[in-house]
Structure 1
Amino acid sequence: MTVQRITGMASGMDIDSIVTKMMMGAKQPLIKLQQKQQILEWQRDDYRTLNQKYYDFRTALSDLKLTSKYRARNTTSSDESVVTATAANTAALTSTTIQNVKQLATAATRISKSGQTDGAGKEVTISGSTKIDTDASLLSQESNFSTPITWKSGTVVSKSITAGSNGTVTIDLTNAPITTDENGKISMNVTVNGKTYKAVDSSTYSGLTDKDDYIELQLSTDQKTGTLTNFSTSLSEGTSINTEYIASSFTESKTLTATANTMQLSRSVNPYRDGKYSVSISDGSTSYSLVKVDDDTANIKNGDTTVGTLNTSSGLITMNDLSAETNLTVTYHENYTTMNLGTYEEDGDKHTANFYIKESDSLNDVISDVNHSGIGVTMYYDENADKVSLTRKVTGDFNPEGTEIDTGTDTNDFLNRTLQFAGTDSTETGGENAEFTINGLTTSRTSNTFTISGVTYTLKNTFNTDNVSGRQVTVNVSNDTDTIYNNIKDFVDKYNDLIDTVQKKLDEERYSDYAPLTDDQRSELTDEQQEKWETKAKSGLLRNDMTFKSSLSSMRSLIYQKVNNPNISSQYNQLSSIGITTTADWLEGGKLEIDESKLKAAIEADPDSVELLFRGTGSSTSEEGIIQRLYDSVNHTYNTIVDKAGKSTFVNDQFTIGKDLNSVTKKISDMNDKLDNLEDRYYAQFTAMEEAIQKYNNQYSYLSSYFSS
């Protein structure tokens, strides 16, 4: 209940000031609680700051458990113009001799025939008298090729779909029904997660012996939808899938009005053959004709009347003077051609890819499709040589019985017929394995870079000791002492940094006379004075903290102890024996220092013992390496501090200081309630006094007026 306060109107006294002074003494317990609350928060933050150092050091110790920190390797070659090498940390410290390199591994290459003989016996270049424009459509320059393109009736359709629930894949074929090829079979290219499959009908799929590159396409009865199944890996919902297939035609529609009179086609309409475009346009009752205006524009006509325009490059239709709603339908009637490429994998299995080529595609489009496919071949056209080349992206002979690059048996496809890769028109070169003799053993590899027992060799040139007397190449693998030393030094630096930070906090002076400032005290000080006061108030909150003192003591003890692992030489079973000792200044809290020459000598003399000294494991603490011992100790301290001070993501109920803060906060709340009640009581008493004085004054005034009259 709020007490009505009358402040000195009758008495003339400064009641607010009087009550404030009376409350000052009563508020002292509250101030003590608020200061305790602030100190707990500062302590919590100090604990967390130091614990972050423990966390970082624990992470560093985890890295130092890895063998790679102690097994860095150097390799040297007696002749780097012939052989270079690198070694993994698992490689043995050995010397290897390569007596000869008979031949290097090469990538298979096929080059198109430079020309052909016509009926008159006259030889012409692949592109006739006019060079190929690699950016122009194939249809616009098919006469430039010495061998005509074999076009097929149909249009290439590309669709992007996503996998549904449980990885089901369904494709809508309504506006572009899939059609069969010349063999009466249906097929579709399906690319998912970087791999391209060939989707075939159920009867074809069931008859395949090797199904790695194939999936099954199941068509609905009305053939308006298809379901893709039997992917080599299961698909998650939402997986993106790209498809490409041949349809007899492709249709798209849009309803136009006088105010929305444009239709954007999904592709350009560049192909133009025998005075006709590759699309037809109708509105259901009327079929419109297309009349070419220029390379980018065609008029849409109804008889002799122009009713709209088509931008053949962008595919934008604009209709004129639509008086009523019009459902416009556009049907594509493009031609296409195909080509096949096959390559062999390391296990000898053949990998094939089928490419669909539209009339509007350019040679650069074809080249890009090949280069970005998973077939492992690079296609290149050189206009000066006027040739096309195919090169494997890897070296080696993966098909000893034949060629590495297989262009298939279809002599009418674009690759074999038009680009002239058929049969003996294109002879393959390269595709050979590297052959060499190492440590007396004659062997081969598909690549000039290969790994044996952790050492990766790169052959750069051929040579033969029979031809060059006494010549051979020696590869030596040795310890990379500097790298191992730097890894150990990095550990020592991080250890010293932790020791230094913790020890300074333990030694920090505590200024007990500097309690946290109250709001009233802050108002009397400048910002600079407040900062100086608060620095002293925060100082020493963890002075001589037993958790951290115990932690440093434990780490020092573990550092000094021997590692009694039976696989470690007695010469190197403690840090001091490899040149790592504590500093002479005991005030530094047991920091470590390194005798560089002694540590490097130990690494070179017995790297295995040095490694086990640090990262060795055992059934007891005495057998464990320094790193595991420290890790366990640091982890224990870290978890102890988390229990005491929590993490930034914790709520107060999850750690000890937080519970103390909750308790103090509750006491502060209770104390505030008591003080509010006390202040109300004081004001109530003064209000009663004011009312009594006012009553007396009224009586006095009445009596005075009575006697004066």
Structure 2
Amino acid sequence: MADSTSSSMPVGTTGAGGGNMLRITGLNTGLDVDAMVKKMLTADQTKVDNAKKQQQLIQWRQEAYQSIIKDVKDLQSAYFDVTNSSNYLLSSNSYNNMTATSSDATIASAKASATSVAGTYKIKVDQLAQAATISGNQYLVSDVSKWNGGSITFNGSQITLSKTSTSASDLVSDINKQISESSDLNGKVTASLVTYADKDYINFTSTSENTISMSDIGETSTFFNSNTKLSELGINAGTTYSLSLNGSSFDFKATDSSTIQDLADAIKNGTDGKVTARLNELTGQFSIQTSDTGSGSKLSITDSDDILSKLGIDASKTATGVDAKVSIKEPGSSEYIDTTQNSNNFTVNGVTYSLTDVTAENESISISVTKDTSKVHDLITNFIDKYNNLIGEIQDKLSEKKDYDYSPLTDTQKSSMSDTDITNWETKAKQGILRNDDNLEQLLNDLTSAFSSPVLGSNNKNVSTLYFGNIGSNSIGIDTSDDVTQGGKLSIVDDAKFTDALTNHADEIMKLFTTTSDSKNSTDKFNQSGIFQRISNIITSNVGVIGSTYNSGTLTKYANLQDDYSISGGGGTGTLPDQIYQQQLLISTLTDRMNDDQTKYYNQFTQLETAMETLNAQQSTLSMYLS
């Protein structure tokens, strides 16, 4: 707020002067110089006060703008933020009135689109789609008798297996028994049984890197995990290895710290993610596989430097993926239709299936697809409520009348008022601060036009069989208010029409609301965009994209961005911060001028005091001579 008048005045022994300078005045003339100077500065002080009042009005205008910007951005984040999928009005998923429920989501789940048919679907999964995969060695226990009586050496320490094991479980128990009886191996190595794809494997775990050799069993390998250094597998540090997977060639340079995981990452990066690699620490098996599944996926490897052979990969092998085999019986059909799919996620007749397991023989999963318009109905209804609150706020500000009996208070005026009186006064003074504001008027006009203008295609024909309004059989039952004082608020005039459109014409509703335009011409882009797409564009052009604070949006720039930093002012674009800055320059100029006038007046009274002092001295001398 403006400083009080007295804050720039000097202190005197009389009168009501102010400031921090001590003057002793009026000793010879008997005049109240401080009071007289203050009255002489009244015109200057009035100019300063008026400039400060004008600055306060601009600041209040800025605050009012910022409040509206905040509410506009709240509407934007609530309904036009792509990351807020549950309320995103520009997504086709938001208008989907179909829901799908699976009887066993652990095997197959589904999502229904607006084009799917309601009813009960039956699905049998005979085979899942698989990637093309080439895997390294595992300790497969295909025949226990081949292990019995054999020997296993861990870093030179050998154990001999018994000849009596009859199962893989017995074999694991025998191995751990022999290890526990070895002082060199006890506590350092353990064996465990892993069953994978109905096959038994032995997994060895070690507290340190150990080389294992299996005499009479015919396999040789090494203990490792994802963090095992490649140098411990015989892969030389400092050497550059060349690999080619499915035609993607790249080099991998091993370092002292390179691990198995680093090699897996190099394979993924070198093929742009089309081929990946991983180590299964449960089975101890390293595998390379395509990212795509299905019979169309192929895998071939060229390992000229034999780096992958250290991990049990046979580069001479090729692999082909496997298709999913599925049988589907749709509503109204009495027979299953067999189909093969190259992925476990696929869409058929508007239903997207996600497969995770196979069904038991002669069993099926039920998928129930039903219509449910409550979600989209509530979404649009809630949008209308929030939109109307914003429109009402803007319209109130545009139509609010100014009370010219109330203007910003000076500090001198505030000093004699209570806090409550000041608040009440300023509330009155702020009224009408945005009355008939051009930017807000344009915003309201644009928003109203977004609903009332037909959505056209590039051929200038309606893109949807439905249209906004309440008149006619193809209207959606939502319309804007005819009352101009309402600023174009929305209302669901005919809920039956609206519900029917959501239930039976969801695809046409989507066209009306979410159609996008690639046109570079602003008029064509507006006409060819769906209603909610228009609203999103209008909001963005006024307050910027989501997450931005200072931007070139019409309202945001006008309220927040200062362009003028010139010494004299007048170099900006007329934004509110520019106006505040320019007003501050004016206040400084007027204050300096008033201080100069104040100094001039005091100097003149000082000269008068000096003259009076001389006159009094002469009169005293003359009187002394005459007496």
The TM-score range, normalised by the shorter chain, is 0.5 to 0.7
Cα distance in 2 between the residues matched to 1:633 and 1:430:
52
Q: 2:478 aligns to what?
A: 580
Contact 1:48/1:646, CA 8 A, preserved across alignment: no
TM-score (normalizing by structure 2) = 0.61
Structure with larger RCO (C-alpha < 8 A, sep 6+): 1
1:37 aligns to 2:55 (yes or no): yes
1:458 deviation in Å? 2.5
For each residue in 1:49-80, what CA deviation from the matched residue of structure 2 results, as whole angstroms up to 9, or x when unmatched?
43454566567569777352554363536754
- The separation in 1 between residues aligned to 2:589 and 2:343, in whole angstroms, is 80
Residue 138 (structure 2) pairs with residue 112 (structure 1): yes
1-structure distance, mates of 2:285, 2:222: 21
Distance 1:422 1:430 in 2: 15
CA contact (8 A) 1:411 1:422 kept: no
Match of 1:448 among 319, 324, 344: 344
Specify the code of the residue in structure 2 equivalent to 1:530.
I
The answer to whether the 8 Å contact 2:90/2:532 transfers is no
Q: Is 2:476–2:498's contact at 8 Å kept on the other side of the alignment?
A: yes
Secondary structure of 2:560 counterpart? coil
Distance of aligned partners of 1:431 and 1:123 in 2 relative to their CA distance in 1, 3 Å threshold: farther
The amino acid across from 1:435 in the alignment is K
Partners of 1:563 and 1:613 within 8 A in 2? yes
State the Cα distance separating 1:602 from its structure 2 match.
1.4
Picking from 601, 612, 616, the partner of 1:693 is 612
2:380 is matched with 488
- 1:673/1:448 Cα in 2 relative to 1: closer, same or farther (>3 Å)? closer
Amino acid at match of 1:519: D
Residue 324 (structure 2) aligns with: 434
> Is the 1:615–1:627 Cα contact (8 Å) retained in structure 2?
yes
Q: State the alpha-carbon separation in 2 of the partners of residues 625 and 401 from structure 1.
A: 40
2: CA distance between counterparts of 1:648 and 1:142?
A: 69
Q: What SS does the aligned partner of 1:495 have?
A: helix
Cα 1:644–1:486, aligned 2, differ >3 Å: closer, same or farther? Answer: closer
Q: Which residue of 2 aligns with 1:20?
A: 38
Amino acid in the other structure paired with 1:104: L
Alignment of 1:119-130 (within 5 A): 122-124=149-151, 129=159, 130=179
d(CA) in 1 for partners of 2:588, 2:289: 75
> Relative to 1, partners in 2 of residues 1:392 and 1:437: Cα closer, same or farther, differing over 3 Å?
farther
Instruction: Map residues 166-565 of structure 1 onto 2, 5 A cutoff.
Output: 187-188=239-240, 198=242, 212-215=248-251, 243-244=253-254, 374=268, 376-380=276-280, 388-389=284-285, 415=311, 433-438=323-328, 442-445=338-341, 447-452=343-348, 455-459=351-355, 462=358, 481-545=373-437, 547-549=439-441, 551-552=443-444, 555-556=447-448, 559-560=451-452
Q: RMSD over aligned Cα, in angstroms?
A: 5.7
| Contact 1:105–1:395, Cα closer than 8 Å, also in 2 | no
2:455, 2:527 within 8 Å by CA — same for their partners in 1?
yes
| 1:74 partnered with 2:98 | yes
CA contact (8 A) 1:100 1:438 kept: yes
- TM-score of the superposition, structure 1-length normalised? 0.55
Q: SS in structure 2 opposite 1:524?
A: coil
Q: 1:111-159: CA deviations, max 9, x gaps?
A: 6336899999822457654262645333xx54787677799xxxx9999
Q: 2: distance between equivalents of 1:113 and 1:87?
A: 45
**Secondary structure, in 3 states, of the residue corresponding to 1:213?**
strand
SS state at 2:429 partner? helix
The answer to whether the 8 Å contact 1:93/1:479 transfers is no
Aligned residues: 505
Structure 1: give runs of 5+ residues left out of the alignment.
Answer: 160-178, 190-197, 200-207, 216-241, 247-266, 268-355, 357-364
Question: 207, 213, 224: which is aligned to 1:136?
Answer: 207
| Matching residue's letter, 2:240 | M
Which whole-Å deviations, capped at 9, do the CAs of 1:558-597 have from their partners, x for residues lacking one? 5456667855676655356323245798865443233555
Instruction: Report the Cα distance in structure 2 between the residues aligned to 1:46 and 1:533, rounded to whole angstroms.
Output: 17
Q: Can you give the 5+ residue segments of structure 2 that lack an aligned partner in the other structure?
A: 1-9, 11-20, 83-87, 160-178, 180-187, 191-204, 269-274, 330-335, 518-522, 545-551, 565-571
Separation (CA, whole Å) in 2 of partners of 1:434 and 1:671:
84
Alignment partners' CA distance in 2, 1:110 and 1:135: 19
Distance in 2, matches of 1:436 and 1:654, equals 66
Partners in 2 of 1:698 and 1:638 — Cα distance? Answer: 76
Give the whole-Å Cα distance in 2 for the aligned partners of 1:643 and 1:78. Answer: 49
Q: CA deviation at 1:408?
A: 11
Alpha-carbon spacing, 1:36–1:698, altered in 2? closer, same or farther (3 Å): same
The structure in which a higher percent of residues are strand is 1
Q: Residue in 2 aligned with 1:626?
A: 531
Q: Distance in 1 between matches of 2:206 and 2:109?
A: 43
Cα distance in 2 for partners of 1:675, 1:371 equals: 75
Partner SS for 2:561 = coil
SS across alignment from 1:85: strand
Amino acid across the alignment from 2:469 = Q
CA contact (8 A) 1:75 1:478 kept: yes
In the alignment, residue 554 of structure 2 is paired with which amino acid? V
C-alpha change, 1:569 and 1:62, in structure 2 (3 Å) is same
* Corresponding letter in the other structure for 1:505: K
Deviations 1:7-37 (A, max 9, x none): 2233344322331133224422332232122
- 8 Å CA contact 1:509, 1:540 repeated in 2: yes
C-alpha distance in structure 2 between counterparts of 1:556 and 1:92, whole Å: 35
SS in 1 for 2:189: coil
CA gap of 1:144–1:697, structure 2 versus 1, over 3 A, is farther
Partners of 1:614 and 1:625 within 8 A in 2: yes
Q: In structure 2, do the counterparts of structure 1 residues 590 and 699 end up closer, same or farther at CA, with 3 Å as the change threshold? A: same
> Taking structure 1 as reference, are residues 555 and 112 closer, same or farther at Cα in structure 2, changes over 3 Å only?
closer
Indicate if the aligned counterparts of 2:127 and 2:358 stay in contact, CA closer than 8 A: yes
Q: Structure 2: how far apart are the matches of 1:672 and 1:457? A: 76
Matched residues in 2 for 1:622 and 1:144: separation? 76
The reply to whether residue 7 of structure 1 matches residue 25 of structure 2 is yes
Equivalent AA in structure 2 for residue 541 of structure 1 = I
Structure 2 residue 143 is matched with structure 1 residue 86: no
Q: Secondary structure at the match of 1:42?
A: helix
In the alignment, what sits opposite 2:499?
A: 600
Query: Which residue identity lines up with residue 102 of structure 1 in the other structure?
Result: D
1:591 and 2:489 matched:
yes
Give 1:687 deviation, angstroms: 1.3
1:541, distance to aligned residue in structure 2 (A): 1.0
